[in-house]
Amino acid sequence: MKRPMSIAYASIAVVSMLAAAGCATGQGGKDAEESPNSENCAVQEHAMGLRWQQQSAEAQALQSQTYRLAGERLAEKVKQAKSENLAIVTDLDETAIDNTELLARDMTACHDYSVWDTWGHWELEGSPSAIPGAAEFFHKADKMGVSIYYLSDRTEENLDATIASLKGLDFPQVSKDHVMLLGPSKEERRTKIQREHEIVMQLGDTLHDFAGDYASADLDQQRQLVEKDAEHFGGDWFILPNPTYGSWEDAELDEWDAELEVNKSS
């Protein structure tokens, strides 16, 4: 998911140093007053999520597992389908491609990447990597004769660059007809696809990648909708993990109300 609205990895030592210094220096040695959000470097709150997404073997395993299960489920759906015009709809960012190098660079420079003002440069010149299992899954779908539509809120003006990135990662069916970027809402783009295809599977890293109701819902409403849509998940909807940005970013945590007790070593 990459949304146009607000809602290389830094090591522990670097993050700690920047936090202690209040981000006194930023990217390229710039003074603090020249770096966005440098007063307290609040964006460093994302460090653990970014580290997990980019570096953990658990993330790799979960991503590969999701795409393997999606492939098995797709084979079943193709056998059961009555229509010949079947389609998959997939998000790109943090679903099919990994942009964490950009996010880590921005965080290290104390810049809030979720305001999306550095993404244009990344779309044009960055080198995203494929999420583990993604390319293999899409090639499997392609061999089954299933149409693949890449729905992303990347900018339309950088369409050619995004297409080049996807081709460089050996994704199939990459063309201007199949890469549908920001303009109409994702719900409108899905509706357009449904005029000629039966959508048998959707993949994303955020809930509004699957249905328009999630886009305007608050967190409580999203949880209720997830309960209502429970049968979709793992059936025709497959969600990928993304602890780096999302509508949950400013949610308050539930805390145990017991007094803190620390075990002292003997």
- Other beta carbons within 10 Å of 135: 18
pTM, full prediction: 0.85
Decide if 232 contacts 210 (C-beta within 8 A): yes
71 Cβ neighbours under 8 A, 6+ residues apart: 136, 137, 140, 141
SS (H, E, C) 120-150: HHHHHHCCCEECCCHHHHHHHHHHCCCEEEE
124-149 residue pLDDT tens: 999 999 999 999 999 999 999 999 99
Compute the average pLDDT of residues 22-31.
39
pLDDT at 49: 97
Residue 147's alpha-carbon distances to 49, 104, 196, in angstroms, are 33, 34, 11
Confidence of residue 26 (pLDDT cuts 50, 70, 90): very low
Residue-range domains of the chain with CATH: 57-239 (3.40.50.1000)
Q: What average pLDDT does the chain have?
A: 88
Rounded Cα distance between 110 and 42, Å, is 7
- Band of residue 39 on the pLDDT scale cut at 50, 70, 90: low
Per-residue model confidence as pLDDT tens digits over 80-105: 999 999 999 999 999 999 999 999 99
